[in-house]
Amino acid sequence: MAKSHNALRKGYSSRAHRRETWFILAMLAIPFANFLVFWLWPNFRSITIAFEVPSIEGFTLYNFERFFDELASDVTGPQMWKMIDNSLILFVVSTVISLPIVLFISYILFKKIPGYKAFRVLFYLPAILGTTVMSQIFKSLLMTGGPLEKLLDALHIPIDDMTRFAGFLNAPDTGMLMVVIFVLWTGVGVNMIMFTGAMNRVPQEIFESARIDGVGFFREFFSIILPLIWPTVTTMIVFSMVGIFSNASLVLLLCPENTACCNVGYYILRYTLNANYTIRVEDTFCYPAAVGLIFTLVNVPLVFGVKKLCDRVSKNIEY
């Protein structure tokens, strides 16, 4: 009887284990299929078509040669170098300038200064509304005859004719400056959520010990908070590095017609969107795929280099 009972129990356990295994496989099937269809295959195909041209059979480097020829050209070169500069400018603004500011503001709100709840809602508002809504609000402020133009006229600040005619976002001299201001304005919310969440995970015993030792406001920030949340800071820096040459949404939403604001991400997007309407055989998806591959090869070592540098700045502290 004991042997029969053990055999039944083992059989039941084996069937339960198989059901559990099949259930896990069924739940993983959909995300795995999504990974294959919407990530692996498009990325693999984007690499292969970079070496293709419809008018040329087989493997070719024509798209890469075309890019570097246009980059070195006296006609197209200045605009292409300008879009690279714009991508780097947006990275510097969002990471080197905005990130430290947001980090310190997060610390101030974490210390629960008077009115911190109201300030938190105020800073979170751009993240709550979303980039698309905020971009439309921003465009309405800067449009021709809009609030900013009326304010400058009331203050007797001169506005050149091109800016007055095209608007601040579409004028060549002011468009990129307005995009930078938008990045600073809307880049607070999401980063602040990440930083305040990391600060709230720090054990309160550490702050109590610091107060007993007479640690001040700034010393606590630089000697306690920053080292303890450095992995989160590193993650935000790396995420920003990844999007240096692929972020097209800002230009697309704010000033798609202003060539002075074009960055690498929007350059690739614009070529891709226009590929179906071109009359030139060379101007297909193959060329923007090659451009994207070139900047990916440039960006990958930069990302790993910055990640390694950030890891050397401060060790990952467990708490």
* pLDDT tens, N- to C-terminus, the chain (319 residues): 545 555 545 555 677 778 888 888 888 898 899 999 988 998 898 899 899 888 778 889 999 999 999 999 988 899 999 999 999 999 999 888 989 988 988 898 888 888 777 777 777 777 777 788 888 989 998 888 888 889 888 988 888 888 888 889 998 888 999 999 998 888 777 788 888 888 988 888 888 888 888 888 889 999 889 988 998 899 889 988 888 998 888 899 999 888 899 999 999 988 888 766 554 545 578 889 999 999 999 999 999 999 999 888 877 666 6
Q: Are 168 and 107 in contact (CB under 8 A)?
A: no
Q: What pLDDT score was predicted for residue 266?
A: 93
Q: Are 138 and 185 in contact (CB under 8 A)?
A: yes
Q: Are 285 and 275 in contact (CB under 8 A)?
A: yes
- C-alpha to C-alpha distances, 207 to 36, 115, 277, 310, nearest whole angstrom: 47, 22, 62, 25
First to last CA, the chain: 53
Q: Are 236 and 194 in contact (CB under 8 A)?
A: yes
Q: How far apart are CA 267 and CA 14, in angstroms?
A: 57
* Tokens encoding 207: 């702050």
User: What is the per-residue burial (b if ≥16 Cβ within 10 Å, else e) of 152-162?
Assistant: eeeeeeeeeee
∠ CA 198-308-188, nearest 5°, is 35
Q: Are 95 and 214 in contact (CB under 8 A)?
A: no
Q: What pLDDT score was predicted for residue 146?
A: 85
CATH architecture of 62-313: Orthogonal Bundle (1.10)
Q: What is the largest CA-CA distance in the chain?
A: 101
Q: Which of 192, 233, 196 is nearest to 316 (CA)?
A: 233
Q: Are 244 and 88 in contact (CB under 8 A)?
A: yes
Q: Which of 140, 243, 245, 125 is nearest to 187 (CA)?
A: 125
Q: What pLDDT score was predicted for residue 273?
A: 80
- Domain range list for the chain: 1-40, 62-313
Q: What pLDDT score was predicted for residue 267?
A: 92
